[in-house]
Amino acid sequence: MWLINSSVGRKLVMAITGACLVLFVTFHALMNGVAIFSPEGYNAVCAFLGANWYALIASMGLAALFIIHICYAVWLTLQNRKARGNDAYNVVKKPADVEWSSQNMLVLGIVVLAFLCVHMIQFWAKMQLAEIMGCHEPDPQNGMYFINIAFSQWYTPVIYIIGFVALWFHMNHGFWSMFQSAGWDNGTWLPRLKCISRWWTSLVVLLFVAEAVVFTVNANCCESQPCPTEVCEHACQQSATEECNHQCEHSMVVEVVEATETID
């Protein structure tokens, strides 16, 4: 099959899977933006994308895209190194038009993959996977709760910023090179695609960075700090219950006083 045996075919597979992943990353940035303006809306999105059959199919398809993209990336890298042979160890001056990211796509991809693993541990494992396993405490569809828990840790924004920087370089080069692999490599369209790539990638990554900053600030504010443990959560719930009971008792006293005054 030429998609496997041919170098052009393997690059085309990389381009197709990369395009799908770019669309997913863009959707993910927009979805996270909902959490800034409407926490209730974000939780509704999390409920919609929970352990439902359509969400599970989409998750499996997305996982397949990641695996294929990673496998083909490693495959092409090893193939290129084998083709260079001894020349790979010669110190030569790189052409001026060769981007730094193009020379380090595999390393950047590994950094992005490591960041993705942290992200999945903090969110996917505690939300969709927990819902699949039948865990309901805390509510796996309460996405805002897990955002506050994750970003209340000092290391979370640090890891995320590093991941976003690597994502910018990896996605910026991959965006236009996937069109080049598909045949759009003429002198007219390639500069345009590079410009679109820079703008698209920059907007998506800047949105991610802005969200990380807002989530970190909100998570560390006293008013929005979530209960870090089950004991604290129970205490918060108990406090809310006592406040409700106090308000009810006060309301009953007022009603009794008003009734007495009416009788008098």
In tens digits, the chain (264 residues) has pLDDT values of 666 767 777 788 888 898 999 999 999 999 999 999 999 999 999 999 888 889 999 999 999 999 999 888 888 878 877 776 655 545 445 555 556 767 778 888 899 999 999 999 999 999 999 998 888 888 889 999 999 999 999 999 999 999 999 999 999 888 888 887 777 777 778 888 889 999 999 999 999 999 999 999 999 884 444 444 443 443 344 444 444 444 445 454 444 445 555 555
CA angle 49, 230, 44 (to 5 degrees): 20
Residues 171/18, Cβ–Cβ less than 8 Å: no
| Beta-carbon count within 10 A of 200 CB | 16
CA angle 118, 121, 124 (to 5 degrees): 120
CATH architecture of 2-86+98-226: Up-down Bundle (1.20)
| Beta-carbon count within 10 A of 93 CB | 5
- pLDDT on residue 84: 66
User: For residues 108 and 170, what is the distance between their CA atoms, to the nearest angstrom?
Assistant: 6
- pLDDT on residue 98: 58
pTM: 0.75
Residues 147/225, Cβ–Cβ less than 8 Å: no
Residues 180/253, Cβ–Cβ less than 8 Å: no
User: For residues 80 and 142, what is the distance between their CA atoms, to the nearest angstrom?
Assistant: 46
User: For residues 220 and 145, what is the distance between their CA atoms, to the nearest angstrom?
Assistant: 13
| Beta-carbon count within 10 A of 61 CB | 12
Structural domain boundaries of the chain?
A: 2-86+98-226
Residues 159/118, Cβ–Cβ less than 8 Å: yes
The residues, ordered by sequence, that sit 6+ positions from 72 with a Cβ below 8 Å of its Cβ are 10, 13, 14, 17
- pLDDT on residue 75: 84
Element (H, E) at 91: none
Q: 3-state class of 197 per DSSP?
A: helix
Angle of the 143-151 helix axis to the 7-37 helix axis, nearest 10: 100
Residues 10/4, Cβ–Cβ less than 8 Å: yes
- pLDDT on residue 85: 62
- pLDDT on residue 52: 87
- pLDDT on residue 188: 79
User: For residues 44 and 50, what is the distance between their CA atoms, to the nearest angstrom?
Assistant: 10
- pLDDT on residue 106: 82
